[in-house]
Amino acid sequence: MKQIRFSLLAAVVLLSNVAFAQSVEQGKKFLYYQRYKSAKETFEKVLASNPNNIDAVYWLGQTLLLDPDLKDSVGAKALYQKALQTNGSAPLLLVGIGNIELREGKTADARQHFETAISLTKGKDIDILNAVAEANVDAKNGDGPYAIEKLNQATQVKKFNDPETYIIMGDAYRKLIDGGNAVTSYQKALTIDPKLAEAKYKIGKIYLTQNNKDYFLPAFEEATQLDPSYGPAYFELFYYWYYHQDVNKAIGYFDKYTAVTDPKPSDEYNRISFLYAAKKYQDCITQSQQKISAQGANAYPLYYKLIAYCYSDMGDSANAKTYLDQYFAKQKPDGFVAQDYSFYAKTLSKFPGNDSLVNLNYQKAFDTDTALANKQKIAEEAAGVAKTAKDKQGVAKWEGVMYRLNKDPGQAELYRWGYANYSAGNYATSDSIFCGIYEQKYPNEIYGYLWCAKTKRAEDDSLSSGGLAVEPYQKLAEMGKKIDSVKYKSQIVESYFYLASYYNDVKKDKDQAVSYLRKVVEVDPTNETAPKFITILTAPPPKPQPPAAKPKAKKSGK
């Protein structure tokens, strides 16, 4: 009987442990589906029953970090620190606190904790290697190559068969803006688990950053077919059709999304935003304002932005700015997206005196977005806004950004960049563009020589006493005659007049000045100005006049 009782007791303990394990796994499953509320509740229930369940502690901390409505790094840090007091050598907790340290910029401390965790598990624990890599992917200060190194180490563990490793590897390559290797990694995950919707979804995200709808839309659709419960793919489809003005399709995907995800503040916001998409601006404003009034200080910040968009589309920039100011005051720093900054910049540009703020917000939008196509669009918009505002420095900056982003820029792009800097008075930059890049890249085009000469002239002092532009103008005349003396006659004439003026006014060399004026006549026989100056400069000096005779003094009478 004693032996039987022991066996029954062991069975109860075993079943209890399995129950806990299943609960943690269920929480991880919720996390996979981005059902953060359900994941958090599940891990909290496990910990309520067993406060020393290290897996539950670790994954609850990850949930606090990943939930976009929480992003509670303070709570996650407190959770890990408390658990470490009694489990100071638990590898998973060391990775967790390392994740926090990365977010705090303590990269050396984080690396030490990661390496300790790997060492304690002899580099053979795939879950630990995955966790270390994921921490480096998620944190802004994370090290992408280090993450890939650890993931490759995981694939060498005996009997490796973990698709999650390749998912994180794809994320790491994505962090490094290496879309090709990212897609390859996600495909490797699918070879291990062909039903893994997350892998197909993330392939779609890669093509989304490339703005390739022929690939990302089918990828998101396929993800929902692989797993109809995978909400993130439905959300991307909703988001795409929302911004491409097919409200009915957007609503259909949104309904599918909410059917498989946890309720959250953004759901009601998205429903109200359909009024904006349908151009029912006043209804959208009224319902958003009602939500703000009802929720008070805890109002969902995106309502302020939604109202701003409504007012903007109605042509009311003043109210749009008022609500955007509130949105930027209330939103969490990590809650902004690139489009927030560009929208704010464009709105601020409607009001004089905001040039620096406009450029600052466009820069933030540019830095936040990782997609090349989106960066190009932001730079183009910023340049256009700067032109409208007559902000020459802003135009020069963004024309340069556009040129550098262009994989194959042509003459027009180079000219705009150079001319923008010339107009802004950035002569050193204009010099390097026209006298350097343009002349070398397009030696048979006149514009490099022309604007090089103009730039050198502008760089010189007001009297041209330094002669910086002499050689460029000589070269401009030479190349103008060589390329097409008829087409570029005016540029050749301009060069000779400048050189004549320089030699006469600065060098006091009339003969050289006259020689350049005669070149003008050679090129343009109808020119009336050059002969007049030739006559003036070659005329003999006037003969000196004899001094006037002094009048004789009158004799005085006696």
pLDDT at 135 over 90: yes
pTM of the predicted model as reported, rounded to 2 decimal places: 0.76
Residue 43, SS3? helix
| pLDDT over 70 percentage in the chain | 93
Would you say 291 and 268 are in contact if contact means Cβ atoms under 8 Å apart?
Answer: yes
- Two tokens at 450? 């022309």
pLDDT at 20: 45
Task: Quickly state the pLDDT bin for 10 (edges 50, 70, 90).
Answer: very low
pLDDT at 544: 74
306: Cα separation from own chain's centroid: 22
- Mean pLDDT, the chain, rounded, equals 92
Give dist(CA 48, CA 70) in Å, integer: 21
Task: Quickly state the pLDDT bin for 323 (edges 50, 70, 90).
Answer: very high
Task: Quickly state the pLDDT bin for 14 (edges 50, 70, 90).
Answer: very low
Q: What is the pLDDT of residues 291-309, one digit of tens each?
A: 999 999 999 999 999 999 9
Would you say 435 and 463 are in contact if contact means Cβ atoms under 8 Å apart?
Answer: no
pLDDT at 121 over 90: yes
What lies within 8 Å, CB to CB, of 182 at 6+ separation is: 170, 171, 173, 174, 202, 206
pLDDT at 9: 32
Give dist(CA 487, CA 491) in Å, integer: 9
Based on the number of CB atoms within 10 Å of its own CB, is 252 exposed (0-12), middle (13-18) or buried (19 or more)? middle
pLDDT at 198 over 80: yes
Would you say 260 and 286 are in contact if contact means Cβ atoms under 8 Å apart?
Answer: no
- Two tokens at 21? 């394990």
pLDDT at 370 over 50: yes
Residues, the chain: 558
- Two tokens at 452? 């090089």
Q: What is the pLDDT of residues 41-69, one digit of tens each?
A: 999 999 999 999 999 999 999 999 999 88
Mean pLDDT of 105-123: 98
Where do runs of H (alpha helix) occur along 139-196?
A: 144-155, 163-175, 179-192
Among 42-56, 312-326, 341-355, 366-380, the range scoring the smallest mean pLDDT is 366-380
Please give the single-letter amino acid code of residue 213: K
| pLDDT over 90 percentage in the chain | 86
Mean pLDDT of 177-194: 97
Q: What is the pLDDT of residues 278-293, one digit of tens each?
A: 999 999 999 999 999 9
Domains of the chain, first to last: 470-537 (1.25.40)
Among 19-23, 98-102, 195-199, 228-232, the range scoring the smallest mean pLDDT is 19-23
Task: Quickly state the pLDDT bin for 17 (edges 50, 70, 90).
Answer: very low
122: Cα separation from own chain's centroid: 40
Give dist(CA 280, CA 497) in Å, integer: 64
Give dist(CA 347, CA 365) in Å, integer: 14
pLDDT at 261: 97
Task: Quickly state the pLDDT bin for 371 (edges 50, 70, 90).
Answer: confident
DSSP state for residue 336 in the 8-state scheme:
-
Q: 59 in the Ramachandran plot: left (φ > 0), alpha (ψ -120 to 50) or beta?
A: alpha
Mean pLDDT of 491-520: 96
Give dist(CA 202, CA 220) in Å, integer: 9
pLDDT at 556: 53
How does 440-469 read in b/e, with b if 16+ C-beta sit within 10 Å?
Answer: eebeeebbbbbbbbbbbbeebeeebeeebb
